[in-house]
């Protein structure tokens, strides 16, 4: 349901921008392969110098992988805001980027190549937090609701995929903790660094 301000701005022909961030907590030894998907998407984004099309393809792959791992979902949260000024929306994207990047172990070590033999002895994390931040044009009710519920979260992830194919995404950021195989995120660290999470 749109507010009177939304309707007024629509009459004035202004573009509606939404910036939102999703947090998804997955738990279990089997979630470790998802780190490979996340790191591959991060590498592709760096190699493509932040090209939005490449970022979008990575986002689609990440969302599809998270949907396939739904039996490991533990908790989720989301936040966001509506803007009628692109600059203000961009400032909020930057603010969320800075916050996500400062979360515990959420910066991928893309330079650190790991020997395959060595990786066999690395500890495997049982907790994984994925933070997806996007900015898009228009209105998507599935993303502008409380997503701390299994069915609404599934709809929200599918909406992110659709936004890429509809070419409505204006910014995409992906952060995850831990950021690489061998780093561990304990249950206490999850509580301390991601207090907004709501059990599913």
Instruction: Flag whether pLDDT at 114 surpasses 60.
Output: no
Put simply, whether the predicted model's pTM sits higher than 0.95 gets the answer no
Residue 37 lies in a domain: yes
Residue 5 lies in a domain: no
Q: Tell me what the mean pLDDT of segment 52-70 comes to.
A: 95
Residue 40 lies in a domain: yes
Selection from 22, 198, 200, 192 nearest residue 105 by Cα: 192
For residue 29, give the 3-state DSSP assignment. helix
Residue 91 lies in a domain: yes
Residue 101 lies in a domain: yes
Q: Tell me what the mean pLDDT of segment 193-198 comes to.
A: 94
Instruction: Flag whether pLDDT at 57 surpasses 90.
Output: yes
Q: What is the pLDDT confidence band of residue 170, given thresholds at 50, 70 and 90?
A: very high
Full residue range of the structural domain in which residue 47 is found: 16-107+126-199
Contact 19, 81 (CB under 8 A): yes
What total of structural domains would you count in the chain? 1
Residue 112 lies in a domain: no
Q: Tell me what the mean pLDDT of segment 137-165 comes to.
A: 95
Residue 120 lies in a domain: no
Residue 119 lies in a domain: no
CA pair distance 178, 196, nearest whole angstrom: 17
């Amino acid at each position: 349901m749109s507010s009177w301000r939304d309707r007024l701005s629509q009459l004035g022909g202004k573009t509606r921008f939404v910036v939102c961030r999703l947090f998804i907590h997955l738990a279990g030894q089997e979630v470790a392969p998802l780190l490979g998907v996340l790191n591959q998407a991060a590498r592709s984004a760096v190699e493509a110098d932040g090209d939005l099309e490449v970022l979008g393809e990575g986002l689609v792959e990440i969302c599809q992988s998270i949907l396939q791992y739904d039996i490991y979902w533990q908790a989720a949260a989301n936040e966001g805001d509506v803007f009628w000024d692109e600059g203000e929306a961009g400032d909020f994207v930057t603010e969320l980027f800075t916050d996500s990047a400062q979360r515990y172990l959420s910066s991928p070590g893309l330079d650190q190549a790991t020997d395959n033999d060595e990786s066999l002895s690395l500890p495997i994390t049982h907790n994984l937090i994925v933070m997806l931040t996007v900015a898009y044009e228009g209105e998507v009710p599935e993303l502008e609701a409380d997503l701390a519920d299994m069915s609404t979260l599934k709809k929200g992830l599918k909406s992110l995929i659709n936004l890429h194919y509809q070419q409505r995404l204006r910014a995409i950021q992906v952060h995850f903790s831990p950021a690489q195989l061998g780093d561990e995120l304990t249950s206490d660290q999850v509580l301390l660094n991601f207090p907004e999470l709501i059990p599913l």
